[in-house]
Every structure is written in structure tokens, then in C-alpha cells.
Amino acid sequence: MSVGTVAMSAQVTLSMPEVEALSARAARGVGYSWGHCEECGVASAWLAAHGFDWPSSLLSRLRGDAGAAIRPAPLKWLSGGPVCALRCGTAIVDFADLPEGLGAAGLEVGEVLDPALLVPFLAQAVRSADRTYDCLVDGVPWLRIQPDGLVFRLAPGEAAKARASLSLASTDRPSVAPCQPTATITISRSHYNDLNALALRMTVPATDASARGAGGLGSDND
């Protein structure tokens, strides 16, 4: 079923464009910039396609605080507290080829809110760096990310907050299979309703003032 014809069931099936649009609109509804909203939509679609629990992580992020400001620096990024995974992920991609980005010595990102949302950005940065990296959360190996796009989940990582770091991976092949893309995206009706409610915040109430601003009360005669 599509977003426009959602039946009253426990699950909602979405296409990739619908995942992207719903996520971007939900991010805009809570005040993210248009640029970060677009990145949020693309990241959510990537997570959905690779079997991650994207709606739980996204709702946690959009309902949480904005996070501290990020100060990229070589080897170790600085901040005044936990940072937003969406904003941090965008910065990781932006700095991927710079001294502040991924290098042979890796990168200590610091404490990240909803770190599962980092994964699509890490995959993009690793592809740019053309090296294989392990991502650790709270010191535990979580992901192995290869520049060919393969991502191996070494351990669960859907924490609300964790310290994230990246280091060059060993040559040993992981004992788990890589995340497999899927074309069918199904989420709970509860998650769908919650995301849609956030998305609706970006709409303008139909007040007399808004109607006047849109020309609704003016004459159509030229």
C-alpha cells in the first residue's frame, strides 16, 4: 500500500521515495534546515534499504535535543557535549578528504546522539577515502564499512547515545554477512503516524492572515 492509500492495519509499506519524503518532511517539521532535511531523507532511505531500524532512530533524534556544536579537528573532533548524528554525519562527509576527516590514523568522533543515523554518511565518507574502516561505539566494534559499499554489522548499535570512533580495519574478513539491500520497506503504523504528525508541523494554519498573504481574500480581476 502507498502513503496515499494507507489501510487500517498494523503495518505500513512504503516505497523508497516515500521513506525519503516522509523523513525529510518530519525533520523540517521540527526545525532542521532544508539542507539537513534533504540529507535526513536520503539517510533514512539508505537505512531502510539496508535493514536498519530507521524509524525508531529517526523519531528518537527528531524528538531529542539539537545536540552540541561540532568542531572538526584532525584525529579527534571536539564538542561541548553529545552531537546530533544527522549534523555530525553531514560534517563527516564534508570533511572526508580533508585533514579533519578520515585518515590512516582514523577519527574519534566523540559522543553521538542516535548513532545509527551515522551509518549512511560513514558509508559515503569511506567510499571517498577508499579504505576499509571499523566503526566502534563505546569501544566495541560495531560496523565494518568497505569502500565498495558493503557494510557488516558486527554488533547491535541502535543506542540512544554512544561514543563513536573509526579506525582502519584489519584484513580479516568479518564472520557475518553484509547488510543486504531490500526493496520492500515496512514500518509499524505507530511509527508512520508519529513521523507524519511531525511532518504536518511544517504546514501553515489556514488563518485569515495566511489567506491574505496568499492572496486568498483579494480580487482575481486584473
pLDDT in tens, 71-120: 999 999 999 999 999 999 999 999 998 999 998 889 999 999 999 999 99
Q: In this model, does residue 194 exceed pLDDT 90?
A: yes
CB 129 within 8 A of CB 147: yes
pLDDT in tens, 163-180: 999 999 987 888 899 998
CB 131 within 8 A of CB 102: yes
CB atoms within 10 A of CB 130: 10
Helix or strand (DSSP H, E) at 137: strand 133-137
Helix or strand (DSSP H, E) at 140: strand 140-145
At what angle are helices 34-49 and 16-29 packed, to 10 degrees?
140
Beta bridge partners of 208: none
DSSP helix/strand/coil, 213: helix
- CA geometry: angle 146, 151, 153, nearest 5 deg: 130
CB 132 within 8 A of CB 169: yes
Residues 6, 114: Cα–Cα separation, whole Å: 28
Q: How far is CA 176 from the centre of its chain?
A: 24
**Which one has a higher pLDDT value, 15 or 205?**
15
- What does pLDDT average to over the chain? 86
pLDDT in tens, 109-162: 999 999 999 999 999 999 999 999 999 999 999 999 999 999 999 987 678 999
- Is the pTM of the predicted complex or chain greater than 0.85? no
CB 90 within 8 A of CB 121: yes
Q: In this model, does residue 220 exceed pLDDT 60?
A: no
% of residues, the chain, pLDDT over 90: 71
According to the model, what pLDDT value does residue 204 have?
56
Q: How would residue 202 be classed by pLDDT, with cut points 50, 70 and 90?
A: confident
According to the model, what pLDDT value does residue 205 have?
54
% of residues, the chain, pLDDT over 70: 87
Q: In this model, does residue 192 exceed pLDDT 90?
A: yes
CB 164 within 8 A of CB 119: no
